[in-house]
Amino acid sequence: MRWPGCAAHTPMITWVNEAGRLLATGEPVVLVTVARTEGSTPREAGAKMLVAREAQWQTIGGGHLEWRAADIARQMLRADCAYGARHIERLSLGPSLGQCCGGVATLAFEVLGPADLGWIGSLERCLHEGRSCVRQVAISSAGAPGPVMLDTSGNGGHRRSTCSLWQKGEDSELTDIIVPLGFNIVLFGAGHVGQALVKILGVLPCTVAWVDERDAQFPAAWPSNVIVEATDTPEVFVDQAPPRSYFLVMTYSHALDQRLCQQIFRRDDFAYFGLIGSRTKRRKFEHRLRDRGVGPERLERMICPIGIEGVTGKAPEIIAVAVAAQLLRIREREDQLESDNITGRIHEPDASLWRPRSLWNTNRLSGSVAVFQGGGGQRS
């Protein structure tokens, strides 16, 4: 099975694809990144937006904050700032912006030009192959252009995109962690609930392997982040799923459900395992699985019934919403653990990163770390 990865062009990565498309046509564009957040803000650190003269893509939270960010970006474009020019803006989400969030968003603005196609292309290829990237750019008080350092090794163990802004005096450095879609779901069953659920998952930051024995059960079309597998041996896809996958079992057959449960319990690295059914079905399956050697502590990891508590409707669409919400809640918990880990890891600046940019050269870089000379002078 080939996981769809970033080739699916889902909402979480389209800024990369869109930036490449615009730059290839010669359209100047400003990349706006939420570099740091303090208190309550509409979006998290790492959220991005692209702004051109007449259009914009993605969102950093909407409202007056986004309007103000787009205005600053277009001012940079109208002022004919040099390609590679960068700027930091700290915006309070209070009365001055007409928002009552009460927090502070620090935004990084980067004018992208043709010379940036190098790192954009490298980043796109890296994400397509399922590897995370770390991008670092220096931002001087003068806003002068500078190089982009990109680590495409994928060795950081990152599971979510985020951003950190290091500041020393009047100079700053942006460390941008960009990850492919790492929220892998294996959905067994193409019945009514499965079909309703896939429609929701199709607009979420995840990849889905949708497995059923019945080829005719699948619809004629499905979302781009979903791959469909019609097979007589669905258990194989349990073994092929990446670590930290989310398994959902909702087939037409209780016997097949049980076989899949047994196969899933042979793994100990899944993030979620949900089985559709009632509490009565859970008791029966627990009894059968115990007889086959699955211990009580392992059975506790099986979620059945599925879906967040408090939603009692049994229509397929209602169940699908409740299940999607449960998946997102568990994913949020994983993200929080990763965030705590990242916070401890990337907020300890390496002194070498504070050297003048002239020392950023390939003599101190190796392997998959490369320096791209962004900028390229004044626009014509």
Beta 29-38 vs 48-51: how paired, if at all?
A: antiparallel
Low-confidence winner among 118-132, 214-228, 259-273, 311-325 (lowest mean pLDDT): 118-132
pLDDT of res. 357? 35
Q: Supply 378's token pair.
A: 């004044």
| Residue 120 or residue 350, greater confidence | 120
Q: What fold characterizes domain 184-335?
A: Rossmann fold (3.40.50)
- Output the pLDDT for position 311: 93
**CB burial class (10 A; 0-12, 13-18, 19+) of residue 15?**
buried
Report d(CA 8, CA 223) in Å as an integer.
Answer: 9
Asked if residue 364 has pLDDT above 60, the reply is no
Angstrom distance (rounded) from CA 275 to CA 256: 12
Q: Is the dihedral of CA 370, 375, 377, 380 positive or negative?
A: positive
Q: Point out the least confidently predicted range of 83-87, 156-160, 205-209, 326-330.
A: 156-160
Q: How far is CA 351 from CA 133, 148, 174, 354, 355, in A?
A: 21, 18, 15, 6, 7
* Range from 88-92, 103-107, 167-171 carrying the lowest mean pLDDT: 167-171
Residue 70 above 70 pLDDT? yes
Kindly state the helix (H) or strand (E) to which residue 15 belongs, with its residue range. Answer: helix 14-24
- The answer on pLDDT for 273 being more than 90 is yes
pLDDT band at 229 (very low <50, low <70, confident <90, very high): very high
Contact in structure between 276 and 250 (CB atoms under 8 Å): yes
User: Among 100-104, 187-191, 271-275, which is the least confidently predicted range?
Assistant: 100-104
The lowest-confidence range among 215-229, 270-284, 292-306, 361-375 is 361-375
pLDDT above 90 coverage of the chain, percent: 50
How large is the average pLDDT for residues 71-79? 92
In sequence order, what E strands does the chain have?
A: 29-38, 48-51, 56-58, 86-92, 104-112, 133-139, 148-151, 162-168, 171-178, 184-188, 207-212, 226-230, 246-249, 272-275, 302-303, 369-372
Which residues, in sequence order, are CB contacts of 103 under 8 Å at separation 6+? 37, 38, 39, 40, 41, 92, 93
Range(s) of the chain covered by CATH 3.40.50.720: 184-335
Does the predicted TM-score (pTM) go above 0.85? no
Quote the DSSP letter at residue 348.
S
- Looking from the CA of 356 toward its CB, the CA atoms found within 13 Å total 1
User: What pLDDT was estimated at residue 197?
Assistant: 98
Res. 338: pLDDT tops 80: no
Q: 264: which strand partners? A: none
Angle at 327 between CA 237 and CA 129, to 5 degrees: 50
Q: Please check the confidence at residue 270 and state whether its pLDDT lies above 90.
A: yes
| Mean pLDDT, residues 227-232 | 95
Q: Which residues contact 157 (CB under 8 A, 6 or more apart)?
A: none
Mean pLDDT score of the chain, rounded to an integer? Answer: 83
